[in-house]
């Protein structure tokens, strides 16, 4: 017997956290009966429906894409914008592991393996997210120090594990700063810079845990190797 949210996540339907939300919202049925209790245990024989779709088992797929600008990372969009899953031709119900903004580029993983996604996105895994931010204006030492000391986002202090000024372009009045964070709050990097008075003009994720976009042009993708998948599972606590 397994917990309902775990079974939903492992089917590839969605992440474990989203599965929990769907259960609480009354969108999950087991053998035709709505279940809103999170701890409910189910077996192989139970028929599980999520949002009126019966769960089926799917082969696990894992991709890394070098996300281009102008693509969203949710799985549907009311504004008819391009969706990142459309860039990968597969019938599997893959979805992004965490989010990148519409205008953010760089490393993004996609999978239909809810447990894999969960390992990488849960805060306790402390996965490095390395970003290179191009800023409007030139950041000063005291602004960098403020960031390093930690800033408040949603009433929670976030402390980056690294902030480093990489390049200054005095003529264009811009600079590039590398920042490494472990959380995945909405617009986190942009809001962190904003909180010290700087605006992010461009943002690229250069690394996510062990993954980088080496060898992939903008919009190109590759499958993860079994060794890469195993090394993510080795982070499981």
Q: Which of 203, 213, 224, 232 binds ligand URA (CB under 6 A)?
A: 203
Q: Which of 4, 8, 84, 100 binds ligand URA (CB under 6 A)?
A: 100
CA distance 195 to 173: 19
Q: Which of 57, 126 has the CB closer to ligand URA?
A: 126
> Is 188 a residue that touches ligand URA (CB under 6 A)?
yes
> Is 121 a residue that touches ligand URA (CB under 6 A)?
no
Q: Using the rule CB under 6 A, give the single segment among 115-123, 143-151, 187-195, 229-237 that binds ligand URA.
A: 187-195
Q: Hunting for tokens 């902030």 — which residue is that?
A: 163
CA distance 173 to 166: 14
Angle at 188 between CA 151 and CA 148, to 5 degrees: 35
> Is 105 a residue that touches ligand URA (CB under 6 A)?
no
Q: How far is the CB of 15 from ligand URA (least distance, A)?
A: 17
Q: How far is the CB of 100 from ligand URA (least distance, A)?
A: 4
CA distance 214 to 234: 23
Rg of the chain, C-alpha, whole Å: 20
Per rule CB under 6 A, count of chain residues that contact ligand URA: 8
> Is 104 a residue that touches ligand URA (CB under 6 A)?
yes
Q: Which residues are catalytic?
A: 101
> Is 18 a residue that touches ligand URA (CB under 6 A)?
no
Q: Which of 147, 189, 213, 232 binds ligand URA (CB under 6 A)?
A: 189
Q: Which of 104, 111 has the CB closer to ligand URA?
A: 104
Q: Which residues bind ligand URA (CB under 6 A)?
A: 100-101, 104, 187-190, 203
């Amino acid at each position: 017997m397994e917990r309902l949210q775990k079974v939903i996540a492992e089917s590839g339907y969605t992440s474990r956290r989203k599965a929990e939300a769907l259960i609480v919202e009354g969108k999950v049925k087991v053998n035709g009966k709505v279940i809103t209790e999170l701890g409910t245990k189910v077996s192989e024989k139970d028929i599980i429906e999520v949002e009126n779709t019966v769960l089926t088992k799917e082969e696990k797929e894992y991709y890394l894409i070098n996300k281009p600008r102008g693509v969203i990372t949710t799985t549907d969009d009311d504004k008819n914008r391009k969706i990142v899953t459309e860039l990968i031709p597969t019938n599997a119900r893959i979805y992004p592991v965490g989010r990148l903004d519409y205008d953010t580029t760089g490393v993004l993983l996609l999978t239909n393996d809810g447990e894999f996604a969960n390992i990488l996105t849960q805060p306790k895994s402390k996965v490095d997210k390395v970003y290179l931010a191009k800023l409007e204006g030139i950041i000063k030492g005291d602004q960098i120090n403020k960031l390093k000391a930690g800033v408040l986002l949603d009433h929670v202090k976030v402390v980056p594990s690294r902030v480093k000024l990489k390049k200054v372009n005095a003529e264009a009045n811009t600079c590039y700063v590398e920042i490494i964070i472990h959380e995945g709050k909405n617009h986190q990097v942009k809001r962190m810079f904003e909180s010290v008075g700087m605006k992010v003009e461009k943002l690229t994720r250069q690394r996510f845990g062990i993954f980088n976009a080496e060898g992939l042009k903008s919009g190109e993708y590759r499958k993860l190797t079994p060794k890469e998948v195993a090394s993510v599972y080795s982070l499981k606590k």
